[in-house]
Every structure is written in structure tokens, then in C-alpha cells.
Amino acid sequence: MELQAILYSQGFGTRRVCAGLIQQGLVVVQGAVCTDAAQQFEPEGLVFSVQGVTWPYREPAYVMLHKPAGTECSQKPSTWPSIYTLLPAPLRQRPQKGPVQGVQAVGRLDQDTTGLLLLTDDGKFIHRMSSPRHHVPKVYEVTVKHPLDDSQVGRLLAGVVLDDDPRPVAAAACEAVTPLHLRLTLTEGKYHQVKRMVAAVGNRVEGLHRSRIGGLALPDDLLPGQWRWLDAAELALLKP
């Protein structure tokens, strides 16, 4: 694969921009500066650097982000900064067939919700992880306003009716970790679902954090606002 095409596929700009980066001697491959945009490389496993920044070839891209509070999962946010500003430009610019470029969030978290967020440019992966048919569990750590009781936990497990759906929505698992800390597992993602479910049993969400998706837990060393690539073992933890 031509080096110019490799850079383009990874989001380093148009083909002309990528060719210019190479011709200016700003791209290092396998320890050597490469100035030939047409030079061929095997892309799988390739690690290169552009303007001093090391970059591994990924096709497609799968990353995790520790979403901080006060950010929106939108490329055109209305009030709060976008989570996409936390990502490097190549991830935001990866070429796509549709009008929206770059990696996309797999589902959304409210602006005040923190925790594990996946992003990718693999449309099939987004559909599989988001579809309620696949029952991918998502675990939330919920801080509530009023002390929990067994009745509230039982109702969340049995199912509560939300105002836009006559069908009861039940938690896949529910545990009162402390009187004010609820651990809730859901397999579908309705609008403001956790907040509305907790409100339906007479309580109120004061803080919300997603700690796990499928078998993948948010790493302790990934701080709010930080991102990193998903490796093969982590991807395997996400399979239904």
C-alpha cells in the first residue's frame, strides 16, 4: 500500500496534504525518513510518525474514552464542549463514505454523565453494540439523592413504566452498594433511561458514571478526558 494512501486512510488529511507531509520529510517509517509518497509498505502492524507524533496503523479504529462531565457526545454541541475535541485530529478526520468523517461514539452519554465511551469508524460494530437485540450489558454507578430501600431495587429489577413506552423496562441487574450508591446494569439505551428509571421508583440521580460495557471495564489508569486504543483482547470482551 502506498505511504500516501496509508496516511490518508488514517486521517492525516487529503491525499494531497498527505503527499506534502511525506515530501517535506515529516514522516518517519521504520526509523527512517521517507520522502517518496508512492513507496509501498505492508500496513498491518505498521507504526510510523508524522511531525514527531507516533501513530499505529489501525483499520478500522477502535478506541475508548473516559468521558468527563460537562461534555456532549456530539460533533455539533449546543452548550457544552464536544467529546471529539478530546481526540487527536487524525481520529476526527478519518475518511468515511458518508458525510460525517472520523470515528463516531457508540451510543451517547448525557453531558453530566462520566465514564466509559467507545468510538469507532466501524459501522457494523456500532450497530451491534447499540442494538437492543444483542443485549450488550452496560453497568452504571449511580449516586442517588435519597437512601435506597429493597422496594426500589426490587421494582427496578421487575420493571418500571416510562412515560413514552407502555412496556415495562427492567434492569438486567441491580445492587444497592451503599444506601446512596446504586449499581445498575442495562441492556438497552433509551433517552435518559437511568435517570427516568430511578425517578420512577421515587428517587433521584445525583451522579451517573458508566463503569463497564460488556466484559470491558473502564481502566483505573485512564483518567477523565483521556483516550486509548482498544487491543484485541479488549475487543474480545465486547463480543455478545
Give the residue numbers marked as catalytic. Answer: 110
Amino acid at 12: F
Please work out, in degrees rounded to the nearest 5, the angle formed at the alpha carbon of residue 235 by the alpha carbons of 192 and 176.
Answer: 40
Determine contact, residues 34/57, Cβ cutoff 8 Å.
no
